[in-house]
């Protein structure tokens, strides 16, 4: 590959990293300090280009070289932006400015190194160009996806720690003022003391756990029968499980609303505790029967020969072996019951029995400051994400098998 080709490619890739790092980190920086900044795209592109040319033409790999390149990037940006990387005086928010600049230098350096690795060994052809293009695309992809996924949650958390006056004064200023100490969590405390979020949390917990319990009690025998026995109508049963899965919740709403009004089940947690298991049971059966089939039948037959009853076999042999499947089914039901909004909204009228989604909806309808809304959202979101992240390591099948609903 000729030197001019190398220079051209290096310049294109370095411009990309200079630009994108500036925009993304600039936006997060604005939210953290809350004031206008300048985007010195050009200075970043130039610094990035110089570093890139160094990487390509001084092609040595060692930690010392990388560290010195990192420091060099940092210094170059400072010089080209005239000591104010974000158009601010370096004296204000100096800690954050330097922190962000360090992160940015790191991203520019790593992005360029990864994208251009092996450039000196390759020949200039379609394969090389495509590989290069894919690398840049991937860099952009990670930046893009992480930004769109994390941004709402980032704002949710930062905003819940602010006060009303500050948010009205400058809606972009989401900086965390550590000097406020425990006062930062005032909106959380107020939600629990004045808005009954303690009850909502408890109700949501009761509904979710009962739903898991009831759904499992009904689904386990059903799934076992489907997995182990041959009986007339079995195929019909398996097919209808899949079809029930596709029935719109909204077509059940009006009949269930009417029916539950007649039998006085509306406006009670009990109503929800019947509905949530019923709509998750088909999925639960489908997931469980698949797992039961993987358990060798000989194990159960041995149990039967040793004098266990069928129930005994299920309780003592099948279930202990199916714990991973039962855990992922439980996770699925928990997520459905914890997040469910439509039926909670239509069925519950009395604030004392609201679940979290219903309580949050009620809060959204009143003239409540937005940091309370955000704090409420955090309270509703954290448990389900925590449970999910904790359980996810053990079970990946849970989400794929049951995840379509919703």
Residues 262-321 that bind another protein (CB under 8 A): 262, 274-275, 277-279, 281-282, 285, 310
Asked if residue 51 lies in contact with residue 76, where contact means CB atoms within 8 angstroms, the answer is: yes
Nearer to another protein, 186 or 370 (CB): 370
Q: How many CB atoms lie within 10 A of CB 328?
A: 25
By CB under 8 A, the residues from 227 to 246 that bind another protein are: 228-232, 234, 237, 244, 246
Q: How far is the CB of 58 from another protein (least distance, A)?
A: 26
85 vs 142: CA distance, rounded Å: 24
Nearer to another protein, 163 or 339 (CB): 339
Q: Does 349 bind another protein (CB under 8 A)?
A: no
Q: 71, 102, 254, 302: which one contacts another protein (CB under 8 A)?
A: 254
From residue 280, alpha-carbon distances to 186, 188, 333 in Å are: 38, 32, 6
Q: Does 152 bind another protein (CB under 8 A)?
A: yes
Site string for another protein, 62-101 (x = CB under 8 A): ----------------------------------------
Q: How far is the CB of 302 from another protein (least distance, A)?
A: 16
Nearer to another protein, 138 or 180 (CB): 138
Q: Does 366 bind another protein (CB under 8 A)?
A: no
Q: How far is the CB of 346 from another protein (least distance, A)?
A: 8
Q: How far is the CB of 191 from another protein (least distance, A)?
A: 13
By CB under 8 A, the residues from 160 to 219 that bind another protein are: 167-168, 171-172, 174, 218-219
How many residues bind another protein (CB under 8 A)? The answer is 102
Q: 342, 351, 352, 394: which one contacts another protein (CB under 8 A)?
A: 342
Torsion of CA 346, 350, 355, 359, to 10 degrees: 90
- The residue written with tokens 């996770």 in the block is 331
Q: How far is the CB of 235 from another protein (least distance, A)?
A: 12
Rg of the chain's alpha carbons, rounded to an integer? 29
Asked if residue 346 lies in contact with residue 255, where contact means CB atoms within 8 angstroms, the answer is: no
Q: How far is the CB of 86 from another protein (least distance, A)?
A: 12
Q: Does 351 bind another protein (CB under 8 A)?
A: no
Q: How far is the CB of 389 from another protein (least distance, A)?
A: 6
Q: 19, 39, 84, 90: which one contacts another protein (CB under 8 A)?
A: 39
Q: Does 50 bind another protein (CB under 8 A)?
A: no
Asked if residue 11 lies in contact with residue 52, where contact means CB atoms within 8 angstroms, the answer is: yes
86 vs 99: CA distance, rounded Å: 12
Q: Does 336 bind another protein (CB under 8 A)?
A: no
171 vs 31: CA distance, rounded Å: 9
Q: Does 121 bind another protein (CB under 8 A)?
A: no
Q: Does 127 bind another protein (CB under 8 A)?
A: yes
Q: How many CB atoms lie within 10 A of CB 220?
A: 22
Q: 71, 92, 138, 189: which one contacts another protein (CB under 8 A)?
A: 138
Stretch touching another protein by CB under 8 A, among 2-10, 176-184, 193-201, 384-392: 384-392
233 vs 212: CA distance, rounded Å: 27
Closest to 336 measured CA to CA, from 361, 360, 355, 362:
355
Write out the two tokens for 135. Answer: 């690398």
Q: Does 380 bind another protein (CB under 8 A)?
A: yes
Q: Does 113 bind another protein (CB under 8 A)?
A: no
Closest to 343 measured CA to CA, from 365, 358, 356, 328:
358
Q: Find all residues with CB under 8 Å of 240, minimum gap 6, and list them.
A: none
Q: For residue 208, what is the enclosing H or E element?
A: helix 197-228
Q: How far is the CB of 57 from another protein (least distance, A)?
A: 26
Nearer to another protein, 83 or 148 (CB): 148
Nearer to another protein, 77 or 275 (CB): 275
Nearer to another protein, 54 or 103 (CB): 103
- The residue written with tokens 């359980």 in the block is 391
Asked if residue 81 lies in contact with residue 43, where contact means CB atoms within 8 angstroms, the answer is: yes
Asked if residue 109 lies in contact with residue 117, where contact means CB atoms within 8 angstroms, the answer is: no
How crowded is the C-beta side of 270, counted as CA atoms within 13 Å? 7
Q: Find all residues with CB under 8 Å of 82, minimum gap 6, and list them.
A: none
| Helix extents (H) in 34-89 | 41-57, 63-80
Q: 5, 8, 36, 349: which one contacts another protein (CB under 8 A)?
A: 36
């Amino acid at each position: 590959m000729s030197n001019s080709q190398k220079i051209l490619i290096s310049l294109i890739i370095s411009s990309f990293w200079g630009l994108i790092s500036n925009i993304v980190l600039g936006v997060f920086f604005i939210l953290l300090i809350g004031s206008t900044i300048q985007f010195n795209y050009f200075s970043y592109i130039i610094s990035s280009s110089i570093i890139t040319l160094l990487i390509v033409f001084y092609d040595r790999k060692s930690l010392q070289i990388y560290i010195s390149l990192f420091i060099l990037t940092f210094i170059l940006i400072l010089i080209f932006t005239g000591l104010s990387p974000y158009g601010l005086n370096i004296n204000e928010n100096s800690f954050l400015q330097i922190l962000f600049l360090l992160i940015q230098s790191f991203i520019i350096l790593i992005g360029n190194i990864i994208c251009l690795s092996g450039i000196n060994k390759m020949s200039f052809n379609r394969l090389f160009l495509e590989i290069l293009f894919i690398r840049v695309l991937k860099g952009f992809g990670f930046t893009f996806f992480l930004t769109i996924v994390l941004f709402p949650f980032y704002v949710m958390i930062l905003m819940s720690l602010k006060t009303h006056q500050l948010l009205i004064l400058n809606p972009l200023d989401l900086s965390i003022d550590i000097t406020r100490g425990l006062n930062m969590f005032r909106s959380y405390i107020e939600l629990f003391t004045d808005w009954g979020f303690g009850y909502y949390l408890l109700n949501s917990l009761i509904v979710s756990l009962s739903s898991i319990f009831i759904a499992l009690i009904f689904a386990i025998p059903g799934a076992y029968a489907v997995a182990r026995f041959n009986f007339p109508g079995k195929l019909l049963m398996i097919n209808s499980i899949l079809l029930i899965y596709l029935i719109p919740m909204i077509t059940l709403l009006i009949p269930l609303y009417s029916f539950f009004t007649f039998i006085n089940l509306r406006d009670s947690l009990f109503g929800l505790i019947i509905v949530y298991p019923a709509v998750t049971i088909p999925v639960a059966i489908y997931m469980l029967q698949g797992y039961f089939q993987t358990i060798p039948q000989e194990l159960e037959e041995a149990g039967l020969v040793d004098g266990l009853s069928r129930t005994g076999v299920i309780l003592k042999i099948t279930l202990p072996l199916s714990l991973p499947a039962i855990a992922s089914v439980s996770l699925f039901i928990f997520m459905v019951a914890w997040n469910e909004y439509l039926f909670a909204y239509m069925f519950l009228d009395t604030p004392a029995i609201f679940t979290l989604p219903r309580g949050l909806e009620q809060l959204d309808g009143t003239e409540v400051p937005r940091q309370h809304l955000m704090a409420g959202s955090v309270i509703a979101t954290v448990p389900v994400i925590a449970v999910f992240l904790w359980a996810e390591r053990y079970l990946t099948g849970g989400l794929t098998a049951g995840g379509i609903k919703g």
